[in-house]
Structure formats: C-alpha cells, structure tokens
Amino acid sequence: MLLDTLKQLGLAALAGLFVTAAPMLLGMAFAVRPNDRWLALMRPLTLAGIFAAVANLFVGLANTFIGLSRVPATEPVGQRIAVMLAETSVVPFISFVFLSTAWLCVAIGMRRQASFLT
C-alpha cells in the first residue's frame, strides 16, 4: 500500500520529499565528518523541510476535499474519507521521518565532534 501511494505522488509531493531529504543527507554527512559550516546549514534546511511537510499536508487535504466534492450525494463517503486521509498523511509522515533521521545524525556528529576536541 505504501509503495503504491509513493508511485502515485504528484510533483508537489516529490518536491517536498526532496526538500526534506536534503537535511537528512546533510545530517548523514555531518555524522561522518562533523563540520561547523554543515551544522550552520541544518537549521535553515530543517525549516524548509518542515514547511514543505506542512505544505504537502495541506495540498493533500485540499485534494481530499476536491475528491469528496465529486462523490455523488447518494453514495456513502465514510470509507473514502478514511482512505483519502490515510493517503494524505503518508508524505508528511515520511518527511518527518527524514527530518528526525537528520537530527539523529547531527546528534551523532556532535558526539563525534566533542570526542575529537578532547
């Protein structure tokens, strides 16, 4: 189900995932080779990732509402709402997993940096 959802992502969702993957990659690089310049980039990239995740949530909700407005009034919508909202939450979830991974890697890098200083 998750892979099917990922295959059907639109351009906005893919761009949002790319934006949230950037801090993760930078965090991994920082974990391997701690550098103050990379650490300084983490905050703005993380903010961009948070904004992209929230924007993806809202574009998914907007698409859900548009899809629900096209359902005939005689048809029950309960199950459709559940499916649509589940699909809407996938991209923000993955985005926040990327951001969490990024900051865990920063924590590892900070630990390594502290051990180099002593």
Predicted structure pTM score: 0.86
pLDDT exceeds cutoff 60 at 24: yes
pLDDT band at 9 (very low <50, low <70, confident <90, very high): confident
Average pLDDT over the chain, rounded to whole?
A: 90
pLDDT band at 7 (very low <50, low <70, confident <90, very high): confident
What is the tens place of the pLDDT at every residue in 74-100? 888 888 888 889 888 989 999 999 999
3-state SS record for the chain: CHHHHHHCCCHHHHHHHHHHHHHHHHHHHHHHCCCHHHHHHHHHHHHHHHHHHHHHHHHHHHHHHHHHHCCCCCCCCHHHHHHHHHHHHHHHHHHHHHHHHHHHHHHHHHHHHHHHHC
